[in-house]
A and B are shown apart, each in its own frame.
Chain A
Amino acid sequence: MSYAILTDTTRCIGCRECVAACKVTWNLEGDVPRRWSKNDGLSALNWTSIVEKGPDEYVRKQCRHCKEPACASACPVGALHHTPEGPVVYDAHKCLGCRYCMMACPYGIPRYDWDSAVPYVRKCIMCYPRIKDGQQPACTEACPVDATIFGDRDELIAEAHRRIKAEPDKYIDHVWGEHEVGGTNVLYISSFDLSCLTYGRPLDDKPLPARTRPAMNAVLPTFGVMFATMGGLGWLIGRRMENAQTDQPEQEAPKDNDTSNDDQGEVNNG
């Protein structure tokens, strides 16, 4: 069973009760936006925010808690991981501050404590400790109009489709997060296009970690092949050189060509 959050932007009134609840729950101080930062309200001190797309068009931004998170796959020390309950959580004590997670996230969610000499990555963790205690996240609890609700992922997807079916004129027939990048645990239904939550380039349904997997699987074989080829070649050429030196010392020129061709062959293997 995987928990999820469904946000229905048609219900959201933009009151930011969720933002306030998040700040109170996690004891986050007032934030000063940084010059050149992404202008979406998220920061190391704002883990969720309301983005106004137009008059009466509000959309809540937060970590999408991907089922196959790019951040967790990217982290070299496994400081981010996907829990069985659904949230993607962060072990601050493992982190070394490389910020690869920030670069890897397709939604641009993880934010950094830029102003601290001991900085950590910050993002929504779907109130994991509260979920473990059997409570729901602070934001969904705080919502006065049930625009953002918490529950089982499958049930929420069913609910989303039910709402879309009930009012097909009101909603765009798409549940954001159902399939994108392998599915996310934060789902949206909306009357307006929510592709603004990602970068300019549209995302497909292939999980991002799957894109590095072929390269990573090739690492050890490449090492083995390279080690064997180079070692073998070195040994072979060395022997030939020794033989050539004892028999005929003037074998330089033709061998020159041979070896540079070999070099090309290696490059292709790499």
Chain B
Amino acid sequence: MKIQVIKESVSKFLEKDYDVLDLFYKMPGDYEFTKKEWDDFHLVPDYLLKYQNELFLAFVIVEIEEKEKILEYIKKYSSFLPFKVFFVKDDEIFEVDTETFSKKYLDKIKIISDSATKTGSWFSPKKSQDGTWLKNREFGKRGEEEVIKYLNLMKIQAIDLNFNSPDDERSGIQDWRKFNKMPDGIAKKDDEVYFFDAKAKRSEKWVVNERDYKKYQAKMEFLPVKIYFVYLTYDGKKIRKLFVHNVNMNEHEILFMGHDKNKVVDLSEEVEEIG
């Protein structure tokens, strides 16, 4: 948990110089993970930083021994965006040269206490607590797999932003407000770098929850966002069709769906069939 607190603190620190988008895992509750569970986490950059028109992907490390896997990762994805690495030791922060791994002292850093990062009360909507959520999650995972398959077929390189955390397989997440739901990944096609997110569907409805759409729009400050609508057979085993929508600031029709009149954005006029 300590590393989460450090990452939160570094995020605050970097806000002095950059626009910061946190990509790192935020534990949505008071959970204890085993070492194996921590080891199973995917390596994901911790931040997307913007300085004027320049973008950077960034990692924060607390053990210099972590450099090997970070360097390997940077080498693999260096064509996407330039990388930055920050090293925190005690109450000092350094920027690490990604070529030589030499450290440059930046400043003292104030580590936010663990208790300050807690929200005080849990927020766990009822619908996240029954088994339906897990089934939907599985169906959603199938959509993600099909999008990755499509990107591979198109030779589009992608950075996976899914953490592979134990939250993927639990219902009744204690605090949804802390759950840092990022798009599924960052893709690079020719010179275009963009966020992508898969929406798995059983029927042809090009709609996205209004709250989610606003979150996508907010991310456009950093990178364009594409939503892939994946239409699967009812059992989720096979793909039927694939559409893409480029998130934008246009005015969209709002619809009220389902028994709970969920507010959704209708994107049916702005989708492109791609597979």
A, B co-complexed = no
